[in-house]
Amino acid sequence: MAGSEQSEAQEELLFIFENGDKYTNPTEVKMSQFILPCHANHRGELSVGQLLKWMDTIACLSAERHANCPCVTASMDDIDFEYTLRVGQVVNIKAKVNRAFTTSLEVGTYFRFVGINIICEDPLSGKQWKVCNAFATFVAKGEGPGKVQLKSIVPRTPEEKIEYSIAVERRRMRLLHLETIKDLVSSSTIQKEPDFEESQHVVPAEKTRVETVELVLPPHANHQRNTFGGQIMAWMESAATISASRFCKEHPVLKTIEMFHFRGPSQVGDRITLKAIVNNAFKKSFEVGVCAEAYHQEGWERKTHINSAFMTFVVLDKDGQLSTFPCVKPEPGDGERRYREASARKKIRLDRKYIISCKQTEVPLSVPWDPSNQVYLSYNNISALKTLAAKQNWVLSCTRKKAKLFTLEEDQLLFFKAEMTVSVNIKQVFLLLSDMSRRHEWDTHYQKFKLIQKVDEDDVIYHVISPSVNKAGNFQDFVLLASRRVPCADGDPYLIALRSVSLPAAPPTEGLDRGEIPCAGFKLCQKGEACTNIAYYIQATPQVLPYLTRDITGLSSDVCKIVEACNEFLEQNKDTVHPLGSVTLGGT
């Protein structure tokens, strides 16, 4: 296992300037820690709480390097732990700021290992392997009560540019996370709890309850007396692990942590109460919820809810196989609600992992659309387009009048780009091109359009029928998710991303060949006051390949005609008041 990861883990980002200087990101921070018995549990394994403390510390140092003022942890995204670390091994952690927003910034690391990058090393054999990644968000806290406006990050390397651009999408997902869970729970008909009376192996949830308290002392806090986020996470992990052990009566292994969100601060002198209980057990894993509240120095009357987290544990038997668990009988009221919410979280976690862990353009097209994964598919749609647009080595294949066509062959995939500049204001171009119901006015492939679902202001799902590729063939149809984004900051492009989705409301129909588009879309950049550069990207699939290659090789000019028609359409409508014109176009 470790060996196979070795070369990947050792890969260092190396960016050389034209003058030969090696580039190092100014916010990059590295930490190496020997795992000593004081960092480990009784089995000699590194405690996850200790790892969280190190992760938070290094991420905070990186954030403060950029902010030049104290920063506090606002959130730590979901973490999947892939390996257990042991006494005697070395943990190498690297972090850098991916992007600064207004008062907050995202800390992550390199392209291959995005997130706070943790590599474990066995110093005796020299082997290295990846342990986990994470992204943390910090908020800058200046001296006074006012908000700190952070300076922007200037990404230099191609990898930094991609991370910089995708950080906006991760932020969007983070801020929608709670709503996504609430929506799923309120809209789903999650199966009723099993019949606990009849089930033989049932553990009453109250038997797993843990309530404990910690006093925040100076070593737990920074020089401004604010408790370190990593310390709170470590206490929460410890309470959750006790609850988990009470349930499984074994030594549980922590596999995943749902996003930590620090709702409120705590300070030296506060008492932190930690309450944990098993919310639900699935066959081979179970969820423990833990809630942290701070009682402020004045007494036990005034408290702040500072954090809630949900952790998934497993147990490995002596052969390394996953053990099976009994059912949990939740307490009436809140316990039953948490039991159902744990199921919803598990579903969302699996969807998210499936959609996000795939390479951007490799998400299976069969990913079915549903309200609980819409945020992740929309994320994937936009970030796949951003990744495609950031690719280098495009080869100019032909120039026709206003349009330039490019190709890119990479990893056995073929991509196309068509580029032109129009004398139309960028906001107007964005409004016109993101209105899919008007695409037939310039694109002959959009013969019939039907809106299936307006998901929100920025995402729509539609069905489109296109002529057949071959003269004798069937017509084709596509079900596409269109996601659009206005710039988050000056200099960001406007984007309209397209990808196929499947949903029961639009099943394949007889007589139509269902085509699929894994990644396509427009990137718009302002060129002066009234001009817009439009780049259209598409990943080749059997359904679109023939059109594109015929043009590239000069056998047809279909694509170029469409590009020209698009130009004409935009010019003709440059002053029309658009029905979508009321949509805010200022920034997210």
Task: By CB under 6 A, name the binding residues for ligand COA.
Answer: 72-75, 101-104, 137, 139, 174-175, 226-227, 229, 232, 261-266, 306
Q: Which residue lies nearer to ligand COA by CB, 57 or 543?
A: 57
Q: Which residue lies nearer to ligand COA by CB, 96 or 99?
A: 99
Gap between the Cα atoms of 523 and 510, Å rounded: 35
Q: Which residue lies nearer to ligand COA by CB, 70 or 289?
A: 70
Residue 139 binds which of ligand ADP, ligand COA, none (CB < 5-8 A, kind-dependent):
ligand COA
Residue 137 binds which of ligand ADP, ligand COA, none (CB < 5-8 A, kind-dependent):
ligand COA
Cβ atoms within 10 Å, residue 576: 11
Taking residues 338 to 377 in sequence order and writing x for each that binds ligand ADP by CB under 6 A, - otherwise, the string is: x---------------------------------------
Say whether residue 424 binds ligand ADP (CB under 6 A): no
Q: Which residue lies nearer to ligand ADP by CB, 182 or 448?
A: 182
Q: Which residue lies nearer to ligand ADP by CB, 277 or 420?
A: 277
DSSP state of 440: G
The least distance separating ligand COA from the CB of residue 319, rounded to whole angstroms, comes to 40
The least distance separating ligand COA from the CB of residue 131, rounded to whole angstroms, comes to 23
Contact 265, 225 (CB under 8 A): no
Applying the rule CB under 6 A, the residues between 264 and 293 that interact with ligand ADP are: 275-277, 279, 289-291
Tokens of 262: 């620090």
Tokens of 229: 């986020």
Residue 276 binds which of ligand COA, ligand ADP, none (CB < 5-8 A, kind-dependent):
ligand ADP
Residue 128 binds which of ligand ADP, ligand COA, none (CB < 5-8 A, kind-dependent):
none
User: 512 vs 175, 351, 475, CA distance in Å?
Assistant: 40, 29, 5
Residue 236 binds which of ligand ADP, ligand COA, none (CB < 5-8 A, kind-dependent):
none
Residue 279 binds which of ligand COA, ligand ADP, none (CB < 5-8 A, kind-dependent):
ligand ADP
Q: Which residue lies nearer to ligand COA by CB, 179 or 409?
A: 179
Residue 261 binds which of ligand COA, ligand ADP, none (CB < 5-8 A, kind-dependent):
ligand COA
Please choose, from the candidates 336, 343, 310, 312, the residue with its C-alpha nearest in 3D space to the C-alpha of residue 204.
336
Amino acid at 556: S
Compute how many residues bind ligand ADP; rule: CB under 6 A.
11
Residue 73 binds which of ligand COA, ligand ADP, none (CB < 5-8 A, kind-dependent):
ligand COA
Burial of residue 213 (number of CB atoms within 10 Å: 0-12, 13-18, 19+)? exposed
Phi first, then psi: give them for residue 136, nearest 5 degrees: -120, 150
Contact 540, 414 (CB under 8 A): yes
Sign of CA dihedral 494, 498, 504, 506: positive
Q: Which residue lies nearer to ligand COA by CB, 248 or 306?
A: 306
Name the residue whose CB lies closest to ligand ADP: 289
Q: Which residue lies nearer to ligand ADP by CB, 164 or 286?
A: 286
Contact 170, 104 (CB under 8 A): no
Residue 430 binds which of ligand ADP, ligand COA, none (CB < 5-8 A, kind-dependent):
none
DSSP run (H or E) holding 128:
strand 128-132
Contact 250, 323 (CB under 8 A): yes
Residue 328 binds which of ligand COA, ligand ADP, none (CB < 5-8 A, kind-dependent):
none
Taking the mean position of all CA atoms in its chain, how far away is CA 100? 17
Phi first, then psi: give them for residue 570, nearest 5 degrees: -70, -45
Q: What is the 3-state secondary structure (H, E, C) of 378-399?
A: HHHHHHHHHHHHCCCCCEEEEE
Please choose, from the candidates 479, 488, 459, 262, the residue with its C-alpha nearest in 3D space to the C-alpha of residue 376.
459
Q: Which residue lies nearer to ligand ADP by CB, 30 or 275?
A: 275
Amino acid at 359: K
Residue 74 binds which of ligand COA, ligand ADP, none (CB < 5-8 A, kind-dependent):
ligand COA
Q: Which residue lies nearer to ligand ADP by CB, 310 or 416?
A: 310
The least distance separating ligand COA from the CB of residue 494, rounded to whole angstroms, comes to 20
Q: Is 374 helix (H, G, I), strand (E, B) or coil?
A: helix
Q: Which of 308, 425, 541, 549 binds ligand ADP (CB under 6 A)?
A: 308
Residue whose structure tokens are 């029928």: 465
Q: Which residue lies nearer to ligand COA by CB, 221 or 431?
A: 221
Tokens of 407: 């190709």
Applying the rule CB under 6 A, the residues between 322 and 341 that interact with ligand ADP are: 334, 338
Tokens of 417: 């780009």
The least distance separating ligand COA from the CB of residue 354, rounded to whole angstroms, comes to 23
* Buried b / exposed e along 483-507 (16+ C-beta atoms within 10 A): bbbbbbeeebbbbbbbbbbbeeebe
Gap between the Cα atoms of 194 and 216, Å rounded: 42
Residue 275 binds which of ligand ADP, ligand COA, none (CB < 5-8 A, kind-dependent):
ligand ADP
Q: Beta strand pairing status for 128-132 and 29-34?
A: unpaired
Q: Which of 209, 225, 402, 574 binds ligand ADP (CB under 6 A)?
A: 209
- Which positions touch ligand ADP (CB under 6 A)? 209, 275-277, 279, 289-291, 308, 334, 338
